[in-house]
Structure 1
Amino acid sequence: MISDSQKKGLRELLLNDNNLTVLLQLAKCATKNVCKTEDPEEALRLITTHIPDIYVLLSKRAITKELLFTYLSNRRADAATDFSKADLIAKVIQYWKQEHQSSIELSGDQTSSSLHNQSEEDYPIHKIARKFGEWFFERFNADALSLVDLWADATLHLTIRASDGINELECTTAAEVLSALTSAKQQFDFYFNPNLTHAGIQGRMDSYGQFLVIRFGTLHSRDSCVGILNVPSGYCGTPWLTTTGNPKK
């Protein structure tokens, strides 16, 4: 759920003359044009109720990079010119956490200074990526991956380089992707060992809110390491595996 500190930040971001149109547009979009309120307070309530994920909300097309950049600049927050919308979203959420959470969510001896120590690996987008990576490879290694785990439009380009040559395979349906991944794993007795630290798995988001997971690790066959694992999962979590090494070693 969107936290109280994030709701306070959304109020600052959208409840003003410059962005009121954006707020009302988001409310219509969130309710699929069922509720066409002109009341800003009601509009804010609607979007936080029907879009309970702050990343999804801020990734909506109505909230532009320019809007986020202007908001950060007006508050003297860090907003370098070399950025993507995903970068700005992360900076805005971090700014809200630093500015608002201490007065709303913290208690006891905790102080706002501790918020500034939050490292990049604690960003929600990276936590989601680590959880997805753990879930995907646990199922894959256990031969439990099924069609329902893949998007219907999943695609795969699989290249296997071995001592006897190179084999390439293109898959354009979820069924083909699942069959290719399962067959390669069983043929070479592969075990995928992802690096689940922040250095080995991270999340990215494009300007349309599509989610990309980038993962690294090692590839094993029986008791031997046969290559490295470089795994950029396609948008929205569709698996796309790239490995290097000789599977017949």
Structure 2
Amino acid sequence: MLNEEEKEEFRRLLRYLPEKELILLKDTITSKLIKTHSLEETIESILNHTESASELLSRKKISRSCLFQYLANKKVSIPGNASKSDLVDKFVHSLPSAVAPEVKFRTQLEQLASIGFVDREANIRALTATDGLIQPALARLIGGSNMLNEEEKEEFRHLLKFLPEKELISLKDTITSKLIKTHSVEETIDAILTYTESASELLSRKKISRSCLFQYLANKKVPLPGSASKSDLVDKILHSPNSSNPEKFFQLEKVPEKVPEEQNLALQFASWFYKQINSNNPKSSQVQSEPWGPQHFWYDCKLVLTIKTSDEYRREEFIDANQVAERLLNLSKDELLIFNPNLENFGTKGKMNKHGLMMVGVCGTLHQGSNCLGIFEQNFGLIRDPAFQNNWKIKYSNLFVQSKDVKQTPRLGQESLEALDWHTNNK
């Protein structure tokens, strides 16, 4: 829900709407369940039943004209041809610093949604932790991150209580970029722990002082030399020999395996592509992040679809972006198929050749309603389009679908892996 700073700004904005438009907006938001008798009551009803700032700003009744007048009155410099989207961005940046993360990172959240990352809460956590930087946020979303586990959080709760409240608040503001407001010491500590990437990252913060660490360890009855440095105390916490040692308070952190850039790209693409396909299925709960269509394919794109069942082996070919987009759409929309890709490293692979052709291979299971019909394997050739903001577009794809009983998680077959090698080494 809107915080008080957001409500105050929206009160000013909504006064630029005619009363009739305000009442219609209130009726839409409250499903006509709330009756009001004055302009102020109507505005308060809108604000009290609005889920988020971004949701209210996306309403059609919040027009370009309304936003323009509001910003002009605030002496915000804006070009006369600015679109509503431009004005929304200006509005967001004119809000107080305590603005909610989903508003602060509105543009980045739209970018993540457009490539298939539709878990809004996970996206907000990743963007908050990376101060709104898209690439580091993607790395966290795809490869996971060393967020604190429950044992670490519990020990850090004990440790952070040795910090004065003023220092705790300052630490929370640093970690969350002042985007999270808290009203008690416990809430402040929880905010710190929720948005901390790893134990070593938190222990390296300046606010986690030598004095704080010394008091914490002394309270644990850990013998310490009086001359121990902060570095010594951190090592004492992180690098005890084994979990049975009473001095071992945090589990040793695992160093994440570095995922090659090509593999990251393959995982991003596969996640986006199948969410897009599945969202066209009327029985799917997937949310479509952007319209499906030929714009995702090169004009001369080629699709080879091979279907194998117990009594049929059929091969279909489609050439040009419109035909390819339509055939893939039919699989989901008309035939009601749901693709469940294996987004582990043994189910999705990516390789790039020296000319910039990106090959992606994906396998998974194929479903219709509650029935698992079989498996699929699909490979793609991707090339960047400089006329399409240098985004990747599909040049060709081969899709193999087989009806069979599935008894284990599909893995990419040797033939698919060899195809990746052949394309990247010979094209």
Asked if 1:130 corresponds to 2:112, the answer is yes
SS in 1 for 2:285: helix
Contact 2:359-2:381 within 8 A present in 1 as well: yes
Q: Larger Rg: 1 or 2?
A: 2
Structure 2 residue aligned with 1:210: none
Deviations 1:100-141 (A, max 9, x none): x3xxx49xxxxxxxxxxxxxx953132243156353666945
Q: Where do residues 225-240 of structure 1 align in structure 2 (5 Å cutoff)?
A: 226-228=381-383
Unaligned runs of 5+ residues in structure 2 are 119-266, 279-283, 305-316, 342-346, 352-356, 363-378, 386-391, 399-418
Structure 1 residue aligned with 2:77: 78
Kindly report the root-mean-square deviation, in angstroms, between the aligned alpha carbons of the 2 structures.
4.7
1:2 is matched by which residue type in structure 2?
L
Structure 2 residue aligned with 1:6: 6
The offset of 1:76, in angstroms, is: 1.1
2:86 is matched by which residue type in structure 1?
D
The offset of 1:81, in angstroms, is: 1.7
Contact 1:219-1:243 within 8 A present in 2 as well: no
The offset of 1:95, in angstroms, is: 1.0
SS in 2 for 1:83: coil
The offset of 1:55, in angstroms, is: 2.2
C-alpha separation in 1, matches of 2:274 and 2:319: 28
C-alpha separation in 2, matches of 1:229 and 1:122: 30
Contact 1:37-1:43 within 8 A present in 2 as well: yes
C-alpha separation in 2, matches of 1:176 and 1:88: 39
Contact 2:380-2:397 within 8 A present in 1 as well: no
1:53 is matched by which residue type in structure 2?
S
Deviations 1:163-206 (A, max 9, x none): 998363313574458759779xxxxx97579xxxxxxxxxxxxx
Contact 2:14-2:22 within 8 A present in 1 as well: yes
Count of aligned residue pairs for this structure pair: 188
Structure 2 residue aligned with 1:24: 23
Q: Where do residues 1-249 of structure 1 align in structure 2 (5 Å cutoff)?
A: 1-15=1-15, 19-97=18-96, 101=97, 105=98, 123-130=105-112, 133=115, 135=117, 140=270, 147-149=284-286, 156-157=293-294, 160-161=301-302, 166=319, 168-169=323-324, 170=326, 171=329, 174-176=332-334, 179=337, 191=349, 219-221=359-361, 226-228=381-383, 242-244=393-395, 249=423
C-alpha separation in 2, matches of 1:173 and 1:225: 17
Cα distance, 1:61–1:122 mapped onto 2, change above 3 Å: closer
Structure ranking higher on relative contact order (CA contacts 8 Å, 6+ apart): 1
Unaligned runs of 5+ residues in structure 1 are 107-120, 184-188, 194-216, 231-240
Cα distance, 1:191–1:44 mapped onto 2, change above 3 Å: farther
